[in-house]
Amino acid sequence: MATTAAGSVTGKTAGTGSPLVIAHRGASAYAPENTLAAVDAAADLGIDWVENDVQRTKDGRLVVIHDDSLERTTDVEQVFPDRAPWKVKDFTAAEIARLDAGSWFGERWAGARVPTLGQYLHTVEANRQKLLLEIKAPELYPGIEKEILRVLREEGWLDRAHVRQKLVLQSFGADSIRTVHEQRPDVTTGFLGTPAVADLPSYAAFTDQINPAYTSLTGDYVAAVHALKGPHGKPLTVSTWTVNNAADAVRADALGVDGIITNNPDVVRDAVG
């Protein structure tokens, strides 16, 4: 599967100055989100970076899914009708592995599964892609940061090459990102949200990226982020989400962002490349 020229974990696409294009939950406009099919769809489009979400099962396995409930993107209501509200944390990994995570998106994807983090990492690696990994709802899963780092280490994703070029861990939870930085200070981290400009220096102590929603983005805010250096001594960067059309992509680029997270990575790439 094809890949494009790569950017570093904290900067724009090498040689062009264009923002990195990051496939949100994989190429989720074209395949069911957070499935291996969505990773492959991004690779088929020539997209290097994919974003995903990780949560923990009842028996302590890490799985790739966005919502804290299985209801929206699987057939859990049919398979386990008496277990509402179908929270990820209330099901074992074996139970989740039985679920169809593709039919809701289209018949073509019937039988797609909710991948484990290990399975997801294998596919990203096989495609020679790079990973923006979101720790989802860390308040629901005490200690998940250590477990994520363990799986990343076991799968070879914490060696020097991956840490320097292929991996970013992000979360809406500042404490979670601070924990990652404390446990593996070499790993690039990102905070999802728009902290007040006055608070940015405190975030710069433990995160390399400030990744705000596109709807909150201004040029002044991007400049304020870029004016600070993160824990690795490099200027903080900005990847904004979720930008799905060419006009918004062009505007985000003009505001100076370093990355654009999108369900439609080909549309964004063609607009800003």
Residues identified as active-site: 24, 66
Which structure tokens are listed for 128? 């020679």
Which structure tokens are listed for 55? 């949560």
Question: Torsions phi, psi of 211, nearest 5?
Answer: -120, 90
Placement of tokens 């005490």 in the chain: 142
Question: Torsions phi, psi of 230, nearest 5?
Answer: -90, -170
- Residue in 125, 178, 174, 114 with CA at minimum distance from that of residue 152: 125
Beta carbons of 34 and 273 less than 8 angstroms apart: no
Beta carbons of 244 and 263 less than 8 angstroms apart: yes
Which structure tokens are listed for 81? 């009708």
Give the DSSP H or E segment for 40. helix 36-44
> How many helices (DSSP H) and strands (DSSP E) are in the chain?
11, 9
Q: How far apart are the first and last CA of the chain?
A: 20
* Rounded Cα gap, residues 156 and 78, in angstroms: 37
What is the amino acid identity at position 49?
A: W
